[in-house]
Amino acid sequence: MSEVTAILLAAGLSRRMGAKNKLLLPIGGTPMVRHVALTYLAAIDGPLTVVTGFEADEIAAALQGLDVRLAHNDAFDSGQPSSVAAGLAVAPVADILLIGLADQPYLSAADITALIEFHRSADEARITIPMEGERRGNPIVVPHTLRTRLLENPDRPGCMSFTRHYPEHVQCAPMNAAGFYDDIDTPEEFRALVASLAEATC
């Protein structure tokens, strides 16, 4: 059994980006979804499961050649809980499971590693959520013992409902890295990302 595996949610409709699917926009010449997948693969020792939905064929093509397994969510337009359920249905067993978002290109492998290390140094039987003040970030860390409980409510499967109803099973990780909290939803946010990358290479 692997120590750490992950589910990456990449099924959304990308409505706020306009005509373009944000996950296919280039980050240094690499589609965003591939960029984020590579970040996760650099930080975990088990397989990465990517949940597809909207423009699934294009997302799969962007991930070609990577060591990932795909899980298609037929109900992707119903929202994130159904995508979490689709990922949980096929993700392999591991000591801990990360559940993250494919639109967080500021996240680094070092950020993910720091979150995993916090989880291991705290209460490993709880779900670990990165927090900065009142901001709740992603990915979250789910121990093996709680994985099946995320599917207890068939109407609202996944992390949000479970962690809100059972706070005794949750612990907060004080993480300051912007990558946990900043995602890319709009053309303006994408332009800011491109500008920040250009500054970093100057």
Question: Do residues 39 and 100 touch, judged by C-beta distance below 8 A?
Answer: no
- Pairing, β 94-101 against β 140-143: antiparallel
Beta bridge partners of 26: 31
Residue with tokens 């059972």: 166
pLDDT higher at 65 or 159: 65
CA angle 125, 49, 101 (to 5 degrees): 75
pLDDT of 153: 80
- Report the pLDDT averaged over residues 148-175: 87
Mean pLDDT of the chain: 91
Q: What is the pTM of this model?
A: 0.93
**Is the predicted pLDDT of residue 19 greater than 80, yes or no?**
no
- Report the pLDDT averaged over residues 161-174: 92
pLDDT of 160: 82
pLDDT of 198: 67
- Report the pLDDT averaged over residues 100-118: 97
pLDDT of 77: 86
- Report the pLDDT averaged over residues 83-94: 93
- Report the pLDDT averaged over residues 97-126: 97
CATH of domain 2-200: 3.90.550.10
What would the pLDDT profile of 59-73 be if each residue is shown by its tens digit?
Answer: 999 999 999 999 999
**Contacts for 162-170: CB closer than 8 Å, 24+ residues apart:** 162/127, 163/127, 163/129, 169/125, 169/126, 169/127, 170/126, 170/127, 170/128, 170/129
